[in-house]
Structure 1
Amino acid sequence: MTTSPPVWDPHQYLRHEGHRTRPFLDLLARINPATAPARIADLGCGAGNVTTLLADRWPEARITGFDNSREMLAKAEQYAGERLDFAHAEAASWAPPPATYDLIVSNALLQWVPGHAELIPGWLAALTPGGTFAFQVPGNFDAPSHTLLASLRESPRWRDRLSGVGDRTAAVGTPGDYLALLSGLGCEADVWETTYLQLLHGRDPVLDWVKGTALRPVLTALAGDEEATADFTAQYAQLLREAYPASGAGAGAGAEGGTVFPFRRIFAVGVVR
C-alpha cells in the first residue's frame, strides 16, 4: 500500500520534550571531537529544539538543521540566527559534497528512512578527516506500543485502510549491525543501547506519547475522517491502558503516580580515521 509521508505536529511532539531530549543529550555527551567543529549538520532537526543544544556547545560553529517537514521547520525558525539556519531536505536523497562537515548528527530520524545503512557511506564521505557522524534511533519496535498498533492496523476492521501504514519493524538495525557497519567503513566506532524507564503522567499518557511519533502515519492516513480517527484511537488507547497500567511510581505526598513506559534507544558515534 502506498501512503503519504506522515504529517507532523510540533506541538504534540514537544508535549514530552524532556523525555525526547534526554537521548540526544546522552548522545551529545559522547561526541568528543579533537577540535571544535566548524561546520555541523543536524539531519532530521525537527522543531529545532535540540539543534540549539549543538549551538550552545559549539557557539562558533556554522550549523544547519535539515528536515522534510514544513510544519517542523516553521517551528524551528524561531531559533534561526547568524550561525544557525534551517533547510528542507529529504534524508534519503541528502548528499552534501565531500568534506563539507566536521560533524553530522541525526536524532531519532533514521527509523523513518528505509535502507538508511546504504546512505551512511555517503554521509561519512561528506565529513572532513577526523569528522564525526553520530545518531540515535528507537530500538523498541517489539514493544507493546508498536506491536499492538501493528495488530490493530491489520485487524479486519482496519486492514483495508491501514495495512502496513507506518510499519518500521525492519527499518532499524541492531547495535551490532551499526558497530560492524561503521567499523567496516573505517570509523572508530562507539555503539551502545539504553532503556529509559520514562514516567508519563496524565490521562492515556502512552497514547499521548505515540500521537507525536509512531501514530503519526495512521493519523495522516485517516485525516479528514473524524469518526474513523476517533474509533481507531479509542481502540488503541484501550489496548495501551492494559499493556501499560498506571502505577504508584513517582508519586509523592498527596500526588498521583504515573505510568512507566520503557523505551529502548540505540546510539552510535563514528569518527572518520
Structure 2
Amino acid sequence: MTTWDPDRYLQFADDRSRPFVDLVARVQGTPSTIVDLGCGPGHLTAVLRTRWPEATIHGVDSSPDMIDKADADHRDDRTTYELADVAAWTTAEPVDLIVSNALFQWVPDQLAVIRRLTDLVAPGGTFALQVPCNYDAPSHRLLHEISSRPPYGEHTEGLHADRGTHAEAYLDLFTSLGWATDAWETTYLHVLQGADPVFDWISGTGARPILQALPDGVREEFVAAYKAALREAYPTQPWGTVLPFSRTFAVARRAA
C-alpha cells in the first residue's frame, strides 16, 4: 500500500493549490455542511474555511500521516478530520457540498464510487471534483516506460494504469442524474525551480507507488535514469523549468 509524505506533497503547495482554488470558485451558494474528500494535509480544507467561515467542514483521507498533519495544523471548532477509505465512506446525514481535489484518479472504478457518493449530497447541493489528466505527458510516459524495463518491471507490474478521466465522462455521469453540470479541462504551466524540479514534483504524487515498489539499490538506479530522462524532456530555461499539467474539473448541482 502506498504511503504519503505530507511535507513532500507540500513542497509545491502553491502550484498544487491553484486547481483547487479554481474549482471552488465555480461553486455557488453558501453550503452549511461540507465534506473534503481526500483532504490530504488540510491546507486546502483551510481554503474552504476561508471561503465559507460559518460552515461545518469534515475532511476525509485514507492516509494516517495526512490526517495527522491536517488535524494538527487545520482543526478548529467546526472542522474535523476522519481516517477512512473514500471508496467506502458514508455519512448519516446528506451534506451541502462534497469537494474533492486530485483524489479520484487513485480510486478503482471511480465513476461508480462517485455515483454512490452523489446520494450523500442534499437536494440543492453540489459535488465538485478535480483530477489530473496528464497521463500522456512526458513525465508519466517516461515514468512507465523506464519502470517497465528490467530490472524494474518485475517490481512494478500492475502499477502502469492510465488513470486519467476526461471531462466528458463526468459530464455524462452527472447529467444522467439530472444535475446541472459544468465540466472543463485546463492546462497549467508551472514554472519550477531547482536541479530536478519535475522529478521533485512527481515523486510526491504520481511516481510514489512505483518508487515505493522498488527495492533499495534498484530504486536509486531507477531514480538516476528517470531524472536524466526528465531533464531532457523538460529543459531548464533562464526563468526555470516549465511543467505543463492538464487537469479535469466538474462542478455539478443537484436539483433542489
TM class, shorter-length: over 0.9
Counterpart mapping for 1:69-218 below 5 A: 69-77=63-71, 78-97=73-92, 99-165=93-159, 167-169=160-162, 171-218=163-210
User: 2:9 corresponds to which residue?
Assistant: 13
Q: Does the 8 A contact of 2:15 with 2:190 survive in 1?
A: yes
CA distance in 1, matches of 2:180, 2:154: 47
Q: Does the 8 A contact of 1:153 with 1:163 survive in 2?
A: no
Question: Aligned with 1:119: secondary structure?
Answer: helix
The letter of the residue matching 2:118 is L
**Offset of residue 157 of structure 1:** 1.9
Question: Aligned with 1:122: secondary structure?
Answer: helix
Q: Does the 8 A contact of 1:103 with 1:132 survive in 2?
A: yes
Confirm or deny that 1:227 pairs with 2:217: yes
Any gaps of 5 or more consecutive residues in structure 1?
A: 249-256
The letter of the residue matching 1:218 is I
Q: 2:236 aligns with which of 231, 246, 252?
A: 246
Q: Does the 8 A contact of 2:32 with 2:55 survive in 1?
A: yes
The letter of the residue matching 1:25 is V
User: 1:25 corresponds to which residue?
Assistant: 21
TM-score by length of 2: 0.96
**Offset of residue 211 of structure 1:** 1.1
Confirm or deny that 1:63 pairs with 2:53: no
**Offset of residue 260 of structure 1:** 0.5
CA distance in 1, matches of 2:232, 2:52: 45
Q: Does the 8 A contact of 2:134 with 2:164 survive in 1?
A: no
Q: Does the 8 A contact of 2:132 with 2:248 survive in 1?
A: yes
Same amino acid, percent of matched pairs: 45
Deviation readout 1:107-142 (Å, 9 max, x if unpaired): 000000021100122211111110000000000000
Q: Does the 8 A contact of 1:45 with 1:67 survive in 2?
A: yes
User: 1:258 corresponds to which residue?
Assistant: 240
CA distance in 2, matches of 1:181, 1:130: 17
CA 91–168 in structure 1, closer or farther in 2 if over 3 Å, else same: farther
TM-score by length of 1: 0.90
Q: Does the 8 A contact of 2:235 with 2:241 survive in 1?
A: yes
The letter of the residue matching 1:48 is G
The letter of the residue matching 2:231 is R
